Structure 1
Amino acid sequence: MTPLNQIPIPELFVSPEAAEKLTEEGTKLPRWVLSEQQASDLELLMNGGFFPLRGFMTQADCDTVTRDGSLTSGAVWPLPVTLDVDEDFAGRIEPGDDIALSDGPDLLAIMSVTDHWQSDGVTHLGGKVKGLRPPAKAGDTPNQLRRMFRQTGWEDVTALYNGDGLADIQGPAMLILPVADQVEDRAAPFIRDNIYIARIRLFARAENEAMVALREIVGRNHGATRVHS
């Protein structure tokens, strides 16, 4: 039986043929240029790092997460992940509309907007996304790491979000470096002495228990069997 941390995780990317068609259609849609954090959120949505999310969260999911720490499905989730936009853009969008999401010149995804609401003076959009391509500065994906663990036979992997305690880890370890600009160094990830340095673009929203829980979910989605935050 294949270990759980080696089984492929669902992604939100469409087929290359569908991506080509949707890219052409996306040129006619309202386009939102993502901030760096939004681009990293979208990347983790598309590649499965934020599984089980299927897009930017709805108002109902956000309310349930804020109140109970879980999605309306019952799945544990610690923090809202929404697409926050300015009032001018929000004024042109209604539930049922599709919008194009880009990180500048590149169209990354199509989002089908289902929710449009405000809280604390911020306008949020929620809805499922269809991934077309990863951002130019994309990090390691869950399935890349899971495939690597399958090839190397790593069934028990400890993930650390900093180097503290790395020397005490017995067996394979994954050191996660979540700072976005570190992803630009494509030569950096490597395997040495059962340690893999993973580049995962996860922005810290706060330093609290909810962020610790989010790091654990992302680490486990990327193939870790235990996570030290």
Structure 2
Amino acid sequence: MTERLAIEDLTVRYGGVSAVTGLTLTVEPATCTALLGANGAGKTSTLRGITALEPAQGRVLLGEQDVSSWSASRRARTGIGHVLEGRHVFPGLTVADNLRVAAGRAKAAPIVDPLELLPELVPHLDRRAGGLSGGQQQMLAIARAVAAAPRAILLDEPTNGLSPKLVDRIIEIVALLRDAGFAVLLVEQRLEVAQGLDADVVVLRHGVAEHRGRGSDGDLADVLHHAYLS
């Protein structure tokens, strides 16, 4: 069962510096929202605040359940899947064992079979994850998140460092997750990813939502240019 993901007045601070200030957004099931903005705009901090990897103020709701006071591990077990920036996999384990570890933490069967979603991994099930290419590791990171049976999925820059061909494949995978019913919250630097998904878009600048629109909006490139330079 997928769920709506909502945050209300989310604020994340590092010491006396506010990385995210009063951010409110809702991601409905079977939709994708993309957080865009320059480095340091608060995109990754938003995801880490939602999953309690960083202390945050405000409310986080998964469906009707308020998880704001819950630990990171409890939020993950309850169904907030988080694909971290940097392709976090267990390099010493095989691909198959990476998936088994993730599935072992799940409370239910996954909504989508990770190997049906990512058949590219099937020939590599017996390989150690550390020996995979960057693109394969990114696919494994997504597959691990899916194997854990999430009810909503957060992805932090899944196309970072990938070739144009692999970027297109990641867009396809995210679209499949959305179409399977997941609420998908995506952090990206690449405008073409939001455009390819025709995602709902929130442009962050200095931790504040400066613009909300769609990936298909004709003025989005200009909005981003202003956000990056100002």
> TM-score, length-normalised on structure 1?
0.24
- Larger proportion of helix: 2
Of structures 1 and 2, the one scoring higher in RCO (CA 8 A, sep 6+) is: 2
Q: Which has the higher strand share?
A: 2
